[in-house]
A = this chain, B = another copy of it.
Amino acid sequence: MNQSGMRGKSRLHPTDPPSLAERIRLEMESFTPSEKRAAHLLLSHYPFAGLDTVAEFASRAGISAPSVLRFVTRLGFGGFPDFQKHLREELEAQLLSPLAKSGPSDKGQGAPALASFAEAVIGNLKATVENIAPAEFEAVVALLSDPRRHIHFTGGRFTGALARYAESHFRIVRSHVDFIEGQPALWRDRMIEISRKDVIVAFDIRRYQEDVTALCEAASKQGATVVLLTDPWLSPIARVARHVLPAHIVAPSNWDSSAGLLLLTEALVAAVTKRLWETAKPRMEAVERLRGERS
């Protein structure tokens, strides 16, 4: 009857994913008539039917509330809330399983892998563009085009490279541009120079990095304006950020894709370069000249 051992939430072994639906299907035979009605309702709208109230569920299944309770008890749950919690967790685990799979199932052929990956990335880019508030983008462009402001770029473990990419471009387009390492030890003393005139452009996506957040919070406290490029779930930096540009990052990979962030970065570079063209042009030419001389 009751296998009292599986109470609570703590069943997240990756080796233990027999969906509840599957179990119900197997045990279907042994159910009483009204239990079968409950089971069928649940399976036909799995798992959402189970997320309603007992009364609602009972009514939709055409049975009484106690029958529903007996049904979930029979499945081994301590009660209806316990049952719902299980459904939610199962749904969540299934919906956003970043790793947990990728077994040696299908051997990847090169071209399809690349093509499908590209397709996903392109989807991300489209979604990213559609979800950016034009005013927000424009505001950031204006901010970064203000020659009186100092611009600092920073980022996390992976996104730091994007910050560097941005910095290496903006450094040529305009002055007062630099890159700040994420580690607190490396910026603690530079923080005294950060003031109301400064702009921090932070890159931070999933597995948000605490040191980057700390940097932005410190800078914000000093009155600096924070611009954040992040994922749709928003880094905690968003709390102190004046402008937020979210990019979609989910790709068929064990890693997130930063292509959307790069797109935004390059679009910002292009827009700011255009806006500051009068001053940017001679700077770019100067850089070009210096390159030539060096070699």
Q: Does A80 contact B (CB under 8 A)?
A: no
Q: Does A210 contact B (CB under 8 A)?
A: yes
Residue with the highest number of chain B CB atoms closer than 10 Å, among A36, A114, A125, A273: A114
How far apart are A149's CB and chain B's nearest CB, in angstroms? 19
Instruction: Judge whether B125 and A121 touch: CB under 8 Å.
Output: yes
Instruction: Judge whether A270 and B125 touch: CB under 8 Å.
Output: no
How far apart are A237's CB and chain B's nearest CB, in angstroms? 10
> A99 to chain B: which residues have CB within 8 Å?
281, 284
> A130 to chain B: which residues have CB within 8 Å?
103, 105-107, 110
Interface residues of A, count at CB 8 A: 98
Instruction: Judge whether A161 and B158 touch: CB under 8 Å.
Output: no
Mask, A9-30, CB within 8 Å of B = 1, is 0000000000001100110100
Query: Which residue from chain B places its CB closest to the CB of A141 in the assembled complex?
Result: B110
Q: Does A129 contact B (CB under 8 A)?
A: yes
Q: Does A257 contact B (CB under 8 A)?
A: yes
Q: Which A residues form the contact surface with B (CB < 8 A)?
A: 21-22, 25-26, 28, 33, 36-37, 40, 43-46, 48, 51-52, 88, 91-92, 95, 99, 101-111, 113-115, 117-118, 121-123, 125-135, 137-138, 141, 157-158, 160-162, 164-165, 168-169, 207, 210, 232-234, 236, 238-239, 244, 246, 251-255, 257-259, 262-264, 266-267, 269-271, 273-275, 277, 280-281, 284, 291, 295
With A117-B266, A118-B126 already in contact, 9 other A-B pairs whose C-beta atoms are closer than 8 Å: A25-B246, A51-B88, A91-B91, A108-B275, A110-B129, A110-B130, A114-B137, A161-B164, A164-B164
